[in-house]
């Protein structure tokens, strides 16, 4: 991009039709799922120490977990429909929003309980969220640690018009390219859903290749490397070759790490491609065709010129999607970022890219 192309856009949030690709909703407590659970599981939860998932990628007292004013009088931020509607949909004005529920189904070791609670969360999303506002779409929740049962849940609700995506925590017991996930990928592709690989996860294994960190900050800052590892796995293990229509969104992992990763990935493919002959194109070609990334949290360089250079290095204006990451708090407001971009690029990131990607 030239300097003349990087002139400040006159866009404001009210002029841009926004599609927010990451709005969080929270199950305040397991009791809210009782209307959607079989009586066996209600009794089990009431009579035993099992109370559903207890792990979370968003500790209640972490400063990034909830922006000021986003907590309702009762329950965590993202658990109250009226408050979320006023803060995440009405201000700024949002045409469509995709809900993500980070309920840690992947942390449940009892497979029957994992399936039951995943189904209950999806039915809760339909009844308590999707049916209350036509602007809402959602990611359906699956027991991703059990790929065959995840595929069964996709079969159950994957055709519901409100679900446009399958929620997959980026931290997993195995890289998602592994063959054990084939049943899940087949169901996602057949239902023409997007796979939303999202920040977080509670699979039980360490969150870094080096082992267990001491502080939440270490895990939080290092999560971008986990996203990069999943991208490598999906391409090298041939997932996109087997399902050419598959679409994957990387959510809440940033994007400014991508150019250097593309360069390294392409270089090593040229060196080692004979070991994976089914990977017939450069990895960057797969990424530009099959992947999208949300812009929040933005690992922003210091100047607007540098930000535009990063976007230029990615090699496509189609890859980035607007996201507020409501109710989480970040240093950079994504609307301010849009105002810094050329008008055409801002429109694409604000909504055009997401509308095409999610068939909205």
132-143: average pLDDT = 98
37-64: average pLDDT = 93
Kindly give the residue spans of alpha helices, DSSP state H, lying in the chain.
Answer: 39-47, 81-84, 111-128, 147-157, 182-190, 216-236, 239-242, 258-272, 283-290, 304-314, 334-339, 343-347, 353-357
pLDDT band (50, 70, 90) for residue 9: very low
295-301: average pLDDT = 88
Architecture in CATH for domain 15-357 = Alpha-Beta Barrel (3.20)
Domain ranges of the chain: 15-357
pLDDT tens, residue by residue, 84-119 = 999 999 988 899 999 999 999 999 999 999 999 999
Range from 54-63, 247-256, 265-274, 323-332 carrying the lowest mean pLDDT: 54-63
pLDDT at 113: 97
Residues in the chain, total:
360
pLDDT at 91: 84
pLDDT band (50, 70, 90) for residue 16: confident
């Amino acid at each position: 991009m030239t300097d003349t192309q990087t002139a400040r856009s006159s866009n404001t949030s009210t002029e841009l039709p926004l599609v927010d690709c990451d709005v969080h909703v929270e199950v305040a407590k397991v009791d809210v799922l009782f209307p959607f659970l079989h009586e066996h599981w209600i009794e089990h939860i009431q009579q035993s120490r099992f109370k559903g998932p207890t792990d979370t990628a968003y500790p209640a007292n972490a400063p990034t977990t909830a922006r000021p004013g986003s907590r309702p009088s009762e329950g965590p931020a993202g658990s109250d429909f009226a408050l979320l509607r006023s803060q995440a949909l009405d201000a700024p004005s949002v045409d469509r929003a995709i809900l993500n529920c980070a309920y840690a189904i992947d942390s449940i070791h009892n497979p029957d309980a994992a399936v039951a609670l995943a189904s209950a969360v999806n039915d809760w999303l339909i009844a308590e969220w999707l049916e209350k506002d036509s602007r809402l779409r959602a990611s359906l929740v699956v027991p991703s640690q059990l790929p065959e049962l995840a595929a069964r849940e996709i079969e159950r609700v994957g055709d519901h018009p409100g679900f446009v995506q399958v929620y997959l925590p980026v931290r997993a017991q195995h890289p998602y390219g592994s063959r054990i996930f084939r049943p899940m990928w087949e169901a996602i592709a057949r239902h023409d859903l997007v796979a939303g690989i999202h920040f977080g996860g509670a699979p039980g294994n360490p969150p870094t290749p080096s082992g267990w960190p001491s502080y939440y900050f270490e895990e939080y800052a290092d999560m971008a490397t986990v996203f990069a590892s999943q991208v490598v796995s999906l391409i090298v293990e041939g997932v996109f070759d087997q399902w050419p229509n598959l679409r994957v969104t990387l959510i809440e992992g940033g994007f400014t790490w991508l150019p250097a990763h593309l360069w390294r990935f392409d270089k090593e493919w040229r060196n080692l491609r004979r070991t994976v002959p089914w990977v017939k194109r450069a990895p960057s070609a797969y990424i530009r065709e099959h992947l999208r990334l949300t812009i929040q949290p933005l690992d922003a360089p210091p100047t607007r010129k540098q930000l535009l250079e990063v976007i230029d290095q990615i090699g496509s204006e189609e890859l980035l999607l607007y996201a507020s990451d409501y109710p989480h708090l970040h240093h950079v407001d994504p609307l301010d970022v849009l105002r810094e971009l050329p008008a055409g690029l801002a429109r694409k990131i604000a909504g055009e890219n997401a509308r095409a990607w999610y068939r909205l």
